[in-house]
A = this chain, B = another copy of it.
Amino acid sequence: MTDALLHFEDFPVGEVVTYGSYKLTREAILAFAREYDPQPFHLDEEAAKDTLLSGLAASGWHACAILMRLNCDGFLSNSTSMGAPGIDEVKWLAPLRPDVTLSVRRTALEARTSKSRPELGFVKFLFELIADEKAVVATQVCSIMFGRRQAP
């Protein structure tokens, strides 16, 4: 792993950064829903009107997938990331509508080195998925493994 890549030490706890720009179209909402989440409120404007979402909205899993893409492009692809063992929490706070532009606000919550594998460390992040630079539509908390610059 080259020094130019982001390592465990490059995510100080408390740091907040924003990045990304992902235009979400109605067609993309429908395509994802047809494949993975064919519930009426993700597929059909008319059917969605009478639901809790009050109109067509993207699958929550589509929101998660887009957040992943924004994180890859925003920092993971330029890092020593070894992935994550899971997700601590996802909240879908507001309907994700067609024709919004999505970005991410990332907060480093905690950092800890691995005892069993001292060459890596975990950083716990809060990711907020933001529509049109205004509304937080979803949040996610997860811990990502990174290589350490100074492994003991």
Contacts and interface: CB of A to CB of B under 8 A. Distances in A.
A68 B59 contact: yes
A53 interface: yes
B39 A72 contact: yes
A145 B68 CA distance: 26
Contacts of A35: 65, 69
Interface stretch (A5-13, A85-93, A98-106): A85-93
**Copy number of this protein in the oligomer?**
2
A68 B59 CA distance: 10
A150 B146 CA distance: 51
A83 B59 CA distance: 10
- The DSSP consensus for interface residues of chain A is mixed
27 contacts: A32-B65, A36-B65, A36-B68, A37-B65, A37-B68, A37-B72, A38-B72, A39-B76, A39-B81, A39-B83, A51-B83, A52-B82, A52-B83, A52-B145, A60-B83, A60-B84, A60-B86, A60-B87, A61-B64, A61-B65, A64-B64, A65-B65, A84-B92, A85-B92, A86-B89, A86-B92, A87-B87
